[in-house]
A and B are shown apart, each in its own frame.
Chain A
């Protein structure tokens, strides 16, 4: 199977119970819509169980970055177990720890401070996208 060199898959946990899950979702969408719109694709994580072989092959077709809200790392584990090993794994709590003054509390709509953390996570994802594409470009010449 030929691997595409121009796109990276981003898989978010989107955890509904915790604000960090919403930050993971928003950060992923910021990369898809604004930071690297022509270089990234996504898939709904629960499709690994609910979908068919095409969907489960996602991480075999695309190099992937998982974005998890918490240390349970559902996106990383589900992607590894059901699709393929991610190239990078990002956890929102690691970024949030750098901002102890921000109390994360919104699941439905992020506050201004929470949105800033989402933007920081999005920048981290975008940097990993660039790193993957640079490596692929070097390999393919």
Chain B
């Protein structure tokens, strides 16, 4: 993971729902596709007010990936005075792909992995728009 990344992608990783796992898996897919541009950060570090994490999100554009309307990632970034460039809601991507039935938190099923791929594509498109 690049320490000089141009964008920080932060998923909610919601532990109670498959859509949280989708947000997490999508983040790793984005980093795999954009290893020199994108990195992630432990969201919990923002929740505890870690200074290093706060500096990173205030110095670097962030993209939040949230699994549910609680918007934990976006809200924690904003509470840390971070630069929230964009937020991708997994539920919005799912609404556009109603045939998918994502399941699993320990491990996503096939539909969950497909959804994670679609979410990752939205994030990559936003990154491409940012760096072009």
> What is the interface of chain B, defined by CB distance below 8 A to chain A?
1, 10-16, 20, 24-25, 27-28, 40-48, 50, 70-73, 75-76, 79, 105-107
Contact = CB atoms under 8 A, between A and B. Distances in A.
Interface-central residue, A50, A51, A74, by most chain B CB under 10 Å: A50
B45 A72 contact: yes
Given A16-B42, A43-B16, A33 B106 contact: yes
Contact of A72 (B10, B27, B50, B71): B50
Interface string A42-59: 111111111100000000
Contacts of A82: 47
A16 B16 contact: no
Interface-central residue, A16, A21, A25, by most chain B CB under 10 Å: A16
16 contacts: A13-B44, A14-B15, A33-B105, A33-B106, A43-B16, A44-B12, A45-B47, A46-B12, A46-B46, A72-B45, A74-B45, A75-B44, A78-B44, A78-B48, A81-B48, A108-B28
Nearest to B75: A50
Contacts of B20: 44
A109 B106 CA distance: 9
Contacts, number: 101
Given A13-B42, A44-B20, A45-B47, A50 B13 contact: no
Interface residues of A, number: 35
Contact of B42 (A18, A42, A44, A49): A18
Contact of A16 (B24, B47, B72): B24
Contacts of B48: 72, 74, 77-78, 81
Interface in A29-71: 29-30, 33, 42-51, 69
A75 B44 CA distance: 7
Closest 5 CB pairs of A and B: A74-B44, A46-B72, A50-B75, A15-B42, A108-B28
A48 B15 contact: no
